[in-house]
């Protein structure tokens, strides 16, 4: 009897060990320890306006059409509506062109905006350096940008990736690290810009200071914008009942070029990438405008021209942090099967103020009756990256679930930015750069293999 009893105990112990092996077969949780307290927003006077009367400020650019031959140039004039002209020319050319902006203003609670300008300059040459000027008299300011190469499958291109930036001391470190990186050509920004809504009455002055803060990058290379929850600015308690009001006034995107009905979801093609931007905070159920648009957009993607298919959204679908846990689940249920069907390469999200990279996994077999609710490895599925680690005022999300789930390849409660370096139609090199001791340390990296042209398994 004793031997049978011991055998039963041994069997129970082995089952316990095996269960723990299954539960603990996740990837790496970094041992790097980041201070948990937030650094606080930089003071307003840290972001002074440029010198000169009515000088244009908060300058930012984004792609202005579907394929990269147009640019939307946006700026604010604080005192007067005019001038509303952008002058631009190609490097080495004596022939200058002019384009006029649309002008708008808005009120938010007791705040009144400056004059917000958006001008779309068109018919640009590919892979060309352009200069542009805003303002007049002693307030003229000059900037530059380079257009992308012509769309094509073998075209190399390098994207920066940042999310949930804010305007703190930590935010400044993240932005400085990215600006110091000479490789980034355009920014994929996954939402949560100014964090003005974390201030009393959603103090919209913080939208102005954020625009000045990021201008060192946004005026010189296009930022591809995604709206996050901090762009909602929905505050009926102070009479503000229109969602996304400040964001939609300040940040224009070329949504009509991809037949979208809203600037909150749209797509562009740039070099060898087809980029789809979705809105986690707009309706996406069946028959809604966003659902209908994505249903039509995905079949249009031509992988022989743009082999890299990248999706930007804000609330992550796969997140092993207790912060915002499963908030993206309903959107995942709606769209994940489409992402697998069309072999999306990578999905970039923010929202959680930490960093995490998944394996290629899916949970598309699940329904409410079959009980098949565990993610499994899937070579047709995207890699999911959560990069809401820009450094905003709310601080770090340092509460990962334990044990680390099997789908999670690498995670770390730190701030930083990433670089996606597309080499050709088959390979891209991805690196995540931690803010550490005033340096951008490459803490995570991976060679990505394209799901359409070279669908082999990657290894960290």
The answer, yes or no, to whether residue 90 has pLDDT greater than 60, is yes
- Indicate the pLDDT class of residue 24, thresholds 50, 70 and 90: very low
pLDDT tens digits for 247-262?
Answer: 999 999 999 999 999 9
The answer, yes or no, to whether residue 319 has pLDDT greater than 50, is yes
- Structure token pair of residue 154: 């073998």
The answer, yes or no, to whether residue 1 has pLDDT greater than 50, is no
Q: Which residues of 271-302 are buried (b: 16+ CB within 10 A; e: fewer)?
A: bbbbbbbbbbbbebeeeeebbebbeebbeebe
**Closest by CA position to 278, among listed 289, 268, 290, 286:** 290
Q: What average pLDDT does the chain have?
A: 92
The answer, yes or no, to whether residue 376 has pLDDT greater than 80, is yes
- Indicate the pLDDT class of residue 439, thresholds 50, 70 and 90: confident
Per the annotation, the verdict on 324 as an active-site residue is yes
Return the pLDDT at 367: 77
Do you find a cis peptide bond into 403, omega within 30 degrees of 0?
yes
**Closest by CA position to 149, among listed 309, 306, 272, 274:** 272
- Indicate the pLDDT class of residue 52, thresholds 50, 70 and 90: very high
DSSP conformational letter for 164: S
For the segment 329-355, the average pLDDT, to the nearest whole number, is 97
pLDDT tens digits for 270-302?
Answer: 999 999 999 999 999 999 999 999 999 999 999
Largest CA distance in the chain: 99
Return the pLDDT at 371: 74
The answer, yes or no, to whether residue 28 has pLDDT greater than 60, is yes
- Indicate the pLDDT class of residue 15, thresholds 50, 70 and 90: very low
pLDDT tens digits for 110-126?
Answer: 999 999 999 999 999 99
The answer, yes or no, to whether residue 10 has pLDDT greater than 50, is no
Candidate list 324, 351, 353, 417, residue with the active-site label: 324
Minimum mean pLDDT range among 53-62, 320-329, 376-385: 320-329
Rounded Cα gap, residues 169 and 171, in angstroms: 5
Return the pLDDT at 14: 39
Minimum mean pLDDT range among 14-18, 437-441, 447-451: 14-18
Whether pTM exceeds 0.85 = yes
% pLDDT > 70, the chain: 93
Q: Look at the alpha carbons of 400, 402, 405, 406 in this order and tell me if their dihedral is positive or negative.
A: positive
Write down the residue that tokens 């579907």 correspond to: 66
Name the more confident of 427 and 366.
427
Return the pLDDT at 13: 40
Rounded Cα gap, residues 285 and 333, in angstroms: 10
Rounded Cα gap, residues 322 and 396, in angstroms: 12
């Amino acid at each position: 009897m004793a031997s049978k009893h011991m055998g039963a105990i041994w069997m129970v112990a082995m089952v316990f060990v095996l269960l723990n092996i299954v539960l603990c077969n996740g990837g790496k949780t970094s041992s790097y320890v980041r201070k948990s307290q937030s650094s606080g927003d930089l003071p307003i006077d840290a972001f002074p306006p440029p010198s000169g009367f009515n000088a244009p400020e908060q300058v930012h650019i984004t792609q202005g059409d579907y394929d990269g031959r147009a640019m939307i140039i946006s700026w604010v004039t604080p005192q007067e509506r005019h001038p509303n002209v952008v002058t631009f020319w190609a490097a080495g050319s004596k022939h200058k062109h002019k384009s006029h902006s649309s002008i708008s203003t808005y009120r938010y609670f007791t705040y009144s905006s400056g004059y917000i300008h958006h001008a779309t300059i068109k018919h640009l040459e590919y892979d060309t350096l352009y200069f542009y000027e805003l303002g007049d008299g002693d307030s003229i300011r000059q900037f530059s940008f380079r257009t992308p190469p012509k769309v094509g499958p073998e075209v190399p291109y390098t994207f920066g990736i940042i999310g949930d930036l804010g305007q703190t001391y930590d935010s400044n470190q993240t932005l400085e690290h990215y600006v110091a990186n000479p490789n980034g050509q355009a920014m994929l920004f996954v939402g949560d810009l100014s964090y003005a809504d974390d201030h009393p009455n959603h103090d919209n002055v913080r939208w102005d200071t954020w625009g000045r803060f990021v201008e060192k990058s946004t005026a010189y290379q296009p930022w591809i914008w995604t709206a996050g929850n901090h762009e909602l600015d929905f505050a009926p308690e102070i009479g503000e009942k229109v969602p996304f009001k400040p964001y939609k006034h300040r940040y224009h995107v070329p949504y009509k070029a991809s037949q979208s009905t809203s600037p909150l979801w749209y797509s562009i093609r740039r070099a060898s990438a087809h980029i789809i931007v979705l809105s986690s905070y707009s309706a996406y159920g069946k028959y809604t405008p966003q659902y209908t648009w994505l249903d039509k957009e995905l079949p249009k993607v031509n992988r022989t021209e743009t082999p890299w298919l990248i999706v930007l959204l804000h609330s992550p679908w796969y997140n092993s942090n207790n912060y915002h846990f499963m908030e993206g689940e309903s959107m995942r249920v709606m769209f994940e099967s489409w992402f697998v069907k069309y072999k999306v390469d990578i999905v970039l999200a923010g929202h959680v103020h930490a960093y995490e990279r998944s394996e290629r996994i899916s949970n598309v077999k699940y329904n409410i009756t079959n009980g098949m609710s565990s993610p499994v490895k899937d070579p047709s599925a995207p890699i999911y990256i959560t990069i809401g680690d820009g450094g905003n005022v709310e601080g770090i999300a340092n509460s990962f679930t334990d044990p680390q789930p099997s789908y999670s390849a690498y995670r770390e409660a730190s701030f930083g930015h990433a670089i996606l370096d597309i080499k050709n139609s088959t390979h891209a090199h991805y690196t995540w750069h931690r803010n550490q001791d005033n340096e951008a340390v490459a803490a995570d990296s991976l060679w990505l293999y394209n799901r359409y042209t070279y669908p082999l398994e990657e290894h960290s």
